[in-house]
Chain A
């Protein structure tokens, strides 16, 4: 009797143990897309009322979203709402919901006016006159004036040592001043291309001048006050941020029909998917490729594939390393199966043919992506000076799917004769090693958007410690940053692209992985504009 009972109990326990193993889904990569499409209209931000781009087929027909709170999840919590310092992460995304910039970058790379009614410049491209839109109010009811703009900009300029994320833009300002309550001027030290200025203006968020007087605590002393479409309500550190729709938003047609937006921190993706299944949440900010099949089975949820915010590159440290030899660089470029990584590891996206996306300045349509040719790669390696030493390939551990990507890259490199040691580091250690040049080659992601930052900071200013020096290329980089005429600048950047491809230096192209989000059907107005993801005009239909 006891034995029978024991056997029954064992069986019951085993059944419980394996209860979670019954998934019918298979682990296949998401359907790759040719190119992400834009969801936003060209005239005003997000005017359409259709679902966001859904390249991955949804399992259910769109339904009406009727809840008054939309709950979105993210794996990382907010650490700061200060968009002018580094480490913002989700905080930056949320701050941009609460605070509007002067311009807004659409998904297709075009710019719209937000706080600015118009942006004008003189012939030299140095003096920029910005006129503010009428009727803009902060969430505390006060009107936006140039006093707030100048106070914010002065505060940032005076604290650039600690507000490092603003350095690149603000170091280029010669001066800025108000002409009247609605008009102010930014004087640049050098001429500036229009697209670049519009990008700069999309990154400057304005706060009430009263808050500026509070100093550095203005970003941590809640509530955060801006003039964006969402009002800050509550920040439960490590848990969630709650926002409320701002009814007095200056673009009435953009006021959301959803009352609250809640950003819930959820570190574990499987929990988030469970919560999405039960209806506890309405969207997951980013999901990994391996979770796609599971999400596809959830009724009433759309899978949305967008351009990634970043493109991945390998940077080659010259110094006394083998990468001083062109043949080594060429062998490195040719032996990586980028398409395989895009299709089977990151689950969509595209192999880059240059550092620009097709919508960016300087894109060279006729340029082909690096080939995957092991035989040719071996030939280059054989005639190179590579002495068989072990190369330290390091990468930051925070990038999604990075271990799998690097294992594949390492495998590809070793297949032609490179000896590779893979090293994964936390961001803190990665940054330190990168600054100290303790690597042979490193892998990392670089934000998309105008190529100026990549060219100026990473290539020209030698930010990655490479000793690669190409005077001709550097002169062109300087030129593109001050060329006001759009077509002329485009040609200059294209020339740089060709040069970098020909030289395979100082970096080799990687891939732009797709970003896959899942959102409850019936929601629209969320975009990924290549630099940031934006839920500013999220609404239900």
Chain B
């Protein structure tokens, strides 16, 4: 069963990636802006521009350019960045570590904050804890993360001098970016988990377990939470997938060397190979995450079918 599932999803992934490669390749070329013009002198002659296009391989027909790109891609060669003159894969790898680290810590912050709060709010519906959790969620979902980032920097870096305002490489560097990214997600998950818990706790099978005299703690965590977790796992997985694509605002504010800033820079400079490579790799990871999410959901709820 698992083999079938993975083979099928792998096939789907290939199709998605081919489509992404075509879309990425076409869109960036449709957009105005010629990378050759960024590299030639002001007022360059047609000949100079053409020579630069030739050097960059942009003088060939689009279909040929695409075929060359895909052939190289299959060989594992993502091409060379036009602006950096470095292999795209090297540039992406250098940023991917930071992006993945931030994504993982963001999910951790989300889980640490949202799970206890959401579960408690669901179990203790209408109490002060519930009110607090809902306020927390409301603020988290309404607040812009750049605003939150500024406040965190102002309080924890500038005023209290407890954490660095920027940087990468040490554990203390990730605290503020992860909270900035994690808070809105935590707010969302808190609401979802709370409503999931409330719905599940009202269901007949929970009443039946209560009638059997099973302890409330076991009912909450073994039966109710398991059901409430299914949409939360899905959401967290997809959120993780989004985070892999880079978080431009947080990267900008905290000088976090992630993929978001690299993507924007590549788009601005019309660095075709780099944009294509980023989109393909991010798409691959996103699709991969959806497979992982499906698999985890199957583990959480054995009644689910993988197909």
Q: Does B34 contact A (CB under 8 A)?
A: yes
Q: Chain A's interface: helix, strand, loop or mixed, by majority?
A: helix
Whether A237 contacts B91 in the complex (CB less than 8 A), given A161-B48, A216-B85, A271-B254, comes out as yes
**Cα-based distance from A331 to B56 in the complex (angstroms):** 44
A2 and B131: CB pair below 8 A? yes
* In the complex, number of A-B residue pairs with CB atoms less than 8 Å apart: 174
B84 and A237: CB pair below 8 A? yes
Q: Does A17 contact B (CB under 8 A)?
A: yes
Q: Chain B's interface: helix, strand, loop or mixed, by majority?
A: helix
A1-41: which have CB < 8 Å to B?
1-2, 5-6, 9-10, 13, 16-17, 19-20
Contacts of B265 in A (CB 8 A): 77, 79
CB distance from B89 to the nearest CB of A (A): 12
Q: Does B44 contact A (CB under 8 A)?
A: yes
A168 and B41: CB pair below 8 A? yes
Name the contact of A432 in the complex, choosing from B34, B55, B132, B253 (C-beta under 8 A).
B34
**Cα-based distance from A85 to B32 in the complex (angstroms):** 22
CB distance from B287 to the nearest CB of A (A): 25
Q: Does A274 contact B (CB under 8 A)?
A: yes
By size class, the interface of chain B is 35 or more
A219 and B33: CB pair below 8 A? no
Name the contact of A429 in the complex, choosing from B32, B94, B254, B257 (C-beta under 8 A).
B32
B42 and A5: CB pair below 8 A? no
Whether A274 contacts B157 in the complex (CB less than 8 A), given A267-B255, A428-B268, comes out as yes
Interface residues in A, total, Cβ within 8 A: 60
B252 and A13: CB pair below 8 A? no
Name the contact of A431 in the complex, choosing from B31, B34, B55, B251 (C-beta under 8 A).
B34
Contacts of A272 in B (CB 8 A): 166
Name the contact of B55 in the complex, choosing from A6, A161, A217 (C-beta under 8 A).
A161
Name the contact of B51 in the complex, choosing from A17, A82, A161, A458 (C-beta under 8 A).
A161
Chain B residue at smallest Cβ distance from A426: B268
**Cα-based distance from A498 to B94 in the complex (angstroms):** 54
Whether A464 contacts B43 in the complex (CB less than 8 A), given A16-B151, A271-B253, comes out as yes
A80 and B85: CB pair below 8 A? yes
A220 and B40: CB pair below 8 A? no
Contacts of A220 in B (CB 8 A): 84-86
**Cα-based distance from A428 to B86 in the complex (angstroms):** 20
23 residue pairs from A and B, CB less than 8 Å apart:
A2-B127, A6-B131, A10-B135, A16-B151, A77-B261, A79-B83, A162-B39, A167-B48, A216-B85, A220-B84, A264-B166, A265-B255, A268-B255, A272-B166, A274-B165, A427-B268, A428-B269, A429-B31, A429-B32, A431-B33, A435-B37, A462-B43, A463-B42
With contacts A237-B86, A280-B164, A428-B269 known, what are 7 further pairs, Cβ within 8 A? A5-B132, A13-B135, A17-B147, A265-B255, A268-B252, A278-B157, A432-B37
Residues of A whose CB lies within 8 Å of any CB of B are: 1-2, 5-6, 9-10, 13, 16-17, 19-20, 77, 79-80, 82, 85-87, 161-162, 164-165, 167-168, 216-217, 219-220, 236-239, 264-268, 270-272, 274-275, 277-278, 280, 425-429, 431-433, 435, 457-458, 461-464
